[in-house]
Chains A and B, each alone.
Chain A
Amino acid sequence: MPDFINLARISKHFGGVTALADVDLTISAGEVHCLAGENGSGKSTLIKIISGVQPPDSGGEIVIDGQRYTHLTPAESTRIGVQVIYQDLSLFPDLTVAENIAFAQHLRGLRGAGKQRLRAKAEAVIARLGVSLDLDALVGELSIAQRQLVAICRALAAEARLVIMDEPTASLTRTEVDTLLDITRELKRRGIAVVFVSHRLDEVMEIAERVTVLRDGRKLGTWDAKDMTPRRLGTLMTGHEFDYKVVVPDLSAAPVMLSVRGLSRRGDFEDINFDIRQGEILGVIGLLGSGRTELALSLFGMRPPDRGQIRLDGAPVSLTSNRAAIDHGIAYVSEDRLSLGLVLEQPIASNIVLSTLDKLTGAAGLLSGDRTRSAVWQGIEQLGIKVSDPENPVRTLSGGNQQRVVIAKWLATQPRVLILDSPTVGVDINAKDGIYAIVKRLAAEGMAVMMISDEIPEVLYHAHRILVMQGGRVKGEFHPAQLSETSLREAIDA
C-alpha cells in the first residue's frame, strides 16, 4: 500500500524537556496502526504535530502526497485529510446530529448552508458508514457510543484520509467496541488510515496491522501486530518486565475480619455471602452493572442494605452512614477518583488529612499545624508519593500518584477493612505496579482488603481469592491457583 504520511526525524522540546526525540513514523493508506505508549511517552505530542497544533523542532520533515513540509498548520492538516477524534470527542451537545456532522459547512461564508443541504450531506456520510443515527436528535441526548459515531461521521464528512482516535475504547462496552471495530474495517475498506492511540493493551489490537511503541519520547520500533502479545507490549512500553505470578499465602489460621451473610438491596444485589480474613485480599470482578460498586457502597454505609448481616471481628454492625463505616474502621477508595476522591485544586497535604480533620485539632477545636504536618508526611512516606511540595495542588500529580494520595487519605483513618474500587483505572503500567505493591504490603500488615476490578490480570495476580459477580449475585468463588485468564474471562462473560 502507498504511504499516506511519512514523518522523519521529528523532535520536540519544551524548554529543557524532551517530548519527542528523532522519531520516524510511516502510516500507509488504509492501514490500521496502533500508537502505544505510557502517559508522557510523547504520543500526544506526536498527534499534535500531525494535526498541526504544534510545530516540530527544525530538522525534521513531514512528507504527504510527495509534498515536503517542515511543519503543518491546522488548516493544512485538515485540507490534506487528517482528522483527530479526541477522547472528549469535541462535539456540540446542543446542536443536532446533522449539524455536528456537517459543521464544516458553517465555517465559510455568511449565509447559512440551509437545513436541507446539511441533512443531505450528513445523511450521505451516515449511509456510507452503514450506521443508524437520528439526524435531528441533539447530540447531548445520545449515548457515548453514539456520540463517537457522530464524531467519526464528522471526520468522514471532512473527507478524512487519516483518522486518529485517542483512547477510543476507554468508555465503551464490549458490544460497542465491536461496532467500533466494524466501522474501522469499513474505513479501511475505503482506503482511510486509522491510528488508535492507547496506553491500554486493549481490543483495538485485534484489528491493528502494525504497532508503534513510544517510550520517553523515543520510538522503540514498529512491529507487526500479530507478533505482539500484551505482555511484550507492556514490557516495551514501560521498560520493565512485569511477570506476575499467582501467590497465595496460607491464611486459614487468620481470624475473619469482615463477614457478610445474606446481604440484599433491592435493585442492586441479592443474597451476598463472603468472608475476608485478616491479611487477605479478596478480588471482586464483574461487568459494569453487576452490582459490585453498589455492594461496596453498602459496606461503606452509603446505601444501607435491605436485608442481611455484616459482622466486623465477629460482632454484628449496622452501617447506615459512611461516618458509621469509618468509625468501624472501613475505608472506601472510590472508582471515580477525580470527582469523588480528590479535591483537585487543593494542596496534596489538605487532601491527605481531609478524612481525619477531627483527629488533628488542638486547643479550642482549631487545626493543629504540627499534627497536620506530621500526618501529611506520614502519608507521603508510607505510600512513597513523589512530591516536590505537599502544598502543590493534587491536579499537578500523575494519575498513579493521585491514586496514592487517595489511599493515603483513607489509611489516615486507620482502617481494618480497605475497599478499593477499580484502583488502577487510568493509571499506567509502572504506577499500577506501585499500587499493587502497596496493597500487598497493607494486607501483609494485617488489613482485610476488598479489591474491585474490571481487569482479569489484576485480580488473578494480586488477589488471594476471587468473587465473580453478575446481575447482582455472586456467581462463583475462585482460587487464583486453579484458574487461567481465559477460564476467568469465560466465568465473567457467561
Chain B
Amino acid sequence: MPDLSKRLLHSHEGKLLLVVLALVIFLSLATKSFLSLQNMIDLLTSYSFSGMLAAGLLVVLISGGIDISFTASASVAQYVAMTIANQYHIGWIEVILICAVVGIACGLINAVLIGTLGLSSIIVTIATLNVFFGLLMFVTHGNEIFALPDWFVNGANWVVYTDKQGNPYIFNLQMIGLIAAFVLTALLLTRTNIGRQIYALGSNKDAAQRVGIKVFRLNLLVYGYMGFVAGMASLVQAQDAQSVSPNALVGRELDVLAAVVLGGASLTGGVGTVFGTILGVMLLAFLQNGLLLLGVQSYWSECFTGAVILIAVSALALERQRQRAGVRRVMA
C-alpha cells in the first residue's frame, strides 16, 4: 500500500486533495457554519448543476475536444421540457426523456459539424452556443416560466434525519443527479472499451484512426454524452430553481471548464480522471462558499476565485513541463 499512497501523492489528484483538505480545515476553523451538515447539503444541491456538467465536459476534454455550448443546450432542454410539461399531462419519465433527447440532439449537431467540416471543436461550439441560445431567446422572447407543474415543484426529496431542533436534513434529486453523473462517467471512462478509445483518441488522433477506431462515431458518442448530461443537469437545475429562465445558465460554461481543468484534465486531450474533476468542483465550490461565509464582497470573491484558478493551472503546467524535461533526459 505505501506504493499506492506514494503514487497518489505524486499525482495531480493527490496534490489537489491536499489543497482541498487544507481549505476545508481552514474554513472549518475560520467560520462557524462551513463544516455543518446543512451547509454541505446546500453546497451539494447548488453545485449539482456545475458538477454534472463537469462530468460530461471531462469526457469531451479527454477525447481531445472541447465543448462551450452545453449551457445553451441545457437551457433549450429545460425550456422545451417544461413548456411541454405545462401543456400536457406528462410525468417524470417523459420530462427526463425530453431533456435527454434535446440534449443529445444538440450534442450530435456539434459532433456532426466538427466531424464533417473538420473545424476545431472550440470554434464550432462557440458558434452553436450562440445559435442555440439565440434561437431560444428569439422563440421565447426571453420570457421566464414561473409556474411549473406541482409534481415537479414538489420534486423528489426525502427527509433522512431530523435533529433535535426539528431541522430536517434531506436527500434530494440534485444529489441523485450529481452522484449518477459521476458514477456513470467513471464507469464509461474506466470500465468500458469506449472509455479506453476516448483516451486513445485524445492521446493521438492519427494513431487512433490507424488502429481502427471509428473517430466520427466515437465523437458522436462523446458529444452526445455531453448533451445528455447537459439535459439531465438542466432538469435538476430547474427543479432546484423552481422556475425556468432562458438566460439563467448561459455564462456559466467557463466556471465548469475551469473546474475540470483544475481537476487535472488536459486541454490537449488524453488526460483526466473523474476523481480529479470531483476535487476540482469541490475546490471551486468550497472557495466560493467559504469567501461568502467569511463575508467577502462578491466582486472580490470572483477575483479571488480567478486568481486561484490561475495559480493552480500554472502549477499544473509547470509540473507537466518538469515531467517532459525528465523524459527528454531519459531520451538523450
Chain A 104-137 near chain B by CB (<8 Å), digits 1 or 0: 1111111111000000000000000000000000
Chain A residue at smallest Cβ distance from B196 = A106
Does the CB pair B203–A78 fall under 8 Å?
no
Is B65 part of the contact surface with A, judged by Cβ < 8 Å? no
Please give the distance in Å from A122's CB to the nearest CB on chain B. 13
Q: A74-B212, A141-B327, A143-B330 are in contact. Are A94 and B193 (CB under 8 A)?
A: no
Q: Which of B191, B192, B207, B210 has the most CB of A within 10 A?
A: B207
Q: A90-B207, A93-B204, A107-B211 are in contact. Are A113 and B193 (CB under 8 A)?
A: yes
Interface of B is mostly: helix
Does the CB pair B203–A95 fall under 8 Å?
yes
Q: A104-B211, A143-B331 are in contact. Are A92 and B195 (CB under 8 A)?
A: no
Does the CB pair B204–A90 fall under 8 Å?
yes
Chain A residue at smallest Cβ distance from B187 = A112
Task: Please measure, in the bound complex, the distance between the C-alpha atom of A92 and the C-alpha atom of B211, giving whole angstroms.
Answer: 10
Q: A110-B192, A143-B331 are in contact. Are A95 and B199 (CB under 8 A)?
A: yes
A-B contact count (CB 8 A): 79
Is B213 part of the contact surface with A, judged by Cβ < 8 Å? yes
Task: Please measure, in the bound complex, the distance between the C-alpha atom of A327 and the C-alpha atom of B44, giving whole angstroms.
Answer: 65
Task: Please measure, in the bound complex, the distance between the C-alpha atom of A89 and the C-alpha atom of B204, giving whole angstroms.
Answer: 11
Chain A residue at smallest Cβ distance from B268 = A94
Is B280 part of the contact surface with A, judged by Cβ < 8 Å? no
Does the CB pair B203–A94 fall under 8 Å?
yes
Instruction: Please classify how large the interface on chain B is, using the bins under 10, 10 to 19, 20 to 34, 35 or more.
Output: 20 to 34
Task: Please measure, in the bound complex, the distance between the C-alpha atom of A110 and the C-alpha atom of B332, giving whole angstroms.
Answer: 40
Q: Within 8 Å CB of A94, what residues of B?
A: 199, 202-203, 269-271
Q: Within 8 Å CB of A113, what residues of B?
A: 193
Q: A103-B196, A106-B200 are in contact. Are A90 and B206 (CB under 8 A)?
A: yes
CB neighbors of A among B176-195 (8 A) = 190-195
Does the CB pair B270–A92 fall under 8 Å?
yes
Chain B residue at smallest Cβ distance from A93 = B203
Partner of A112, one of B196, B213, B327: B196
Q: Within 8 Å CB of B204, what residues of A?
A: 90-93
Task: Please measure, in the bound complex, the distance between the C-alpha atom of A390 and the C-alpha atom of B283, giving whole angstroms.
Answer: 54
Is B323 part of the contact surface with A, judged by Cβ < 8 Å? yes
Q: Within 8 Å CB of B210, what residues of A?
A: 84, 86, 90
Q: Within 8 Å CB of A112, what residues of B?
A: 190-193, 195-196
Chain B 97-125 near chain A by CB (<8 Å), digits 1 or 0: 00000000000000000000000000000
Task: Please measure, in the bound complex, the distance between the C-alpha atom of A108 and the C-alpha atom of B194, giving whole angstroms.
Answer: 9
Chain A residue at smallest Cβ distance from B266 = A94
Task: Please measure, in the bound complex, the distance between the C-alpha atom of A107 and the C-alpha atom of B193, giving whole angstroms.
Answer: 7
Chain B 29-65 near chain A by CB (<8 Å), digits 1 or 0: 0000000000000000000000000000000000000
Does the CB pair A107–B213 fall under 8 Å?
yes
Q: Which of B195, B199, B206, B211 has the most CB of A within 10 A?
A: B211
Q: Within 8 Å CB of B243, what residues of A?
A: none
Q: Within 8 Å CB of B192, what residues of A?
A: 110-112
Please give the distance in Å from B145's CB to the nearest CB on chain A. 38
Chain A residue at smallest Cβ distance from B271 = A94
Task: Please measure, in the bound complex, the distance between the C-alpha atom of A112 and the C-alpha atom of B191, giving whole angstroms.
Answer: 5
Is A255 part of the contact surface with B, judged by Cβ < 8 Å? no
Chain B 304-332 near chain A by CB (<8 Å), digits 1 or 0: 00000000000000000001001100111
Partner of A92, one of B193, B194, B199, B330: B199
Partner of B200, one of A92, A140, A144: A92
- Pairs A–B under 8 Å by Cβ, sample size 24: A74-B212, A90-B207, A90-B210, A92-B203, A92-B204, A92-B207, A92-B270, A94-B202, A94-B203, A95-B200, A95-B270, A103-B196, A106-B193, A106-B200, A109-B193, A110-B192, A110-B193, A110-B194, A111-B192, A141-B327, A141-B330, A143-B330, A143-B331, A289-B332
Binding site for B on A (CB under 8 A): 74-75, 78, 84, 86, 88-95, 99, 103-113, 140-144, 289
Q: Given A78-B212, A289-B332, 8 other A-B contacts at CB below 8 A?
A: A84-B210, A95-B199, A95-B200, A106-B200, A107-B211, A111-B191, A140-B327, A143-B330
